[in-house]
Copies of this chain bind each other. A is one copy, B any other.
Amino acid sequence: MSSTRKKAARKSPAERAAEIADAARDLALEQGLSTVTLRAVASRIDVAPALVAHYEPNMDALVASTFATVVAAELDDIRGVLAAETRPTARVAALVDTLLDGTRDDVTLVWVEAWALGRRNETLAVAVRQEMDAWQLVVRGLVEDGVEAGEFAVDDAADVAWQLLGMIDGLNAQALVRWSADRARGSVLHRAVEGMLGLDRYALDTA
């Protein structure tokens, strides 16, 4: 009964487009990118499937833009976290601890599904590479700051940035399946990062 729809209120194109994008984003965060379908998005905002198709060139594009929206928002969050600290060592600790605090499984699911779906959705694959680059740029800047400040000892900041991101993604993906797992893992990761950055042991724990 509650799901019977008569007719959707007429809205401006900008308004409706935003509504569709929001519905797709919420769907992706709640149930994963693979549930962002024509019909699922339409039914979530109580509209005919054809309307969603009317507003989007195709579903691959909507999935790709949804991915980009979710991931870009997360990166903005992180920028805020980093800005709250001044010394590079403390900023690295904040970065790692925030990304592994276990409150972002919804975003991790989006990442993992994007890796898988990207093999059959080239538009999505392009978006994935773009967002990975954006993330790497931020982390790389942080590492370079640490080197200039004399806190880190690193050969190639770009390499370290990729490595750090890969580690974090892997640990989060793992926790997605083994939900009981504590992904902080004591602070084994701190030791690993200290090794990568040439920091003294336990330097990150007290940062």
Residue ranges of A at the interface with B (Cβ–Cβ < 8 Å):
32, 34, 109, 112-113, 115-120, 125, 128-129, 132, 154-156, 159-160, 162-163, 165-171, 173-174, 176-178, 181, 183, 185-186, 188-189, 191-196, 198, 201
Q: Cβ of B159 and Cβ of A185 under 8 Å apart?
A: yes
Q: For chain A, what secondary structure do more than half of its interface residues adopt (helix, strand, loop), or is it mixed? A: helix
The CA-CA distance from A178 to B129 in the complex, in Å, is 7
**A32 to B116, Cβ gap below 8 A?**
yes
| 25 CB-based A-B contacts, threshold 8 Å | A32-B116, A112-B112, A112-B115, A112-B173, A115-B177, A116-B116, A116-B117, A129-B177, A132-B174, A132-B177, A155-B188, A156-B185, A159-B185, A159-B186, A160-B185, A162-B181, A163-B185, A163-B189, A163-B192, A166-B173, A166-B174, A167-B192, A169-B170, A191-B195, A192-B193
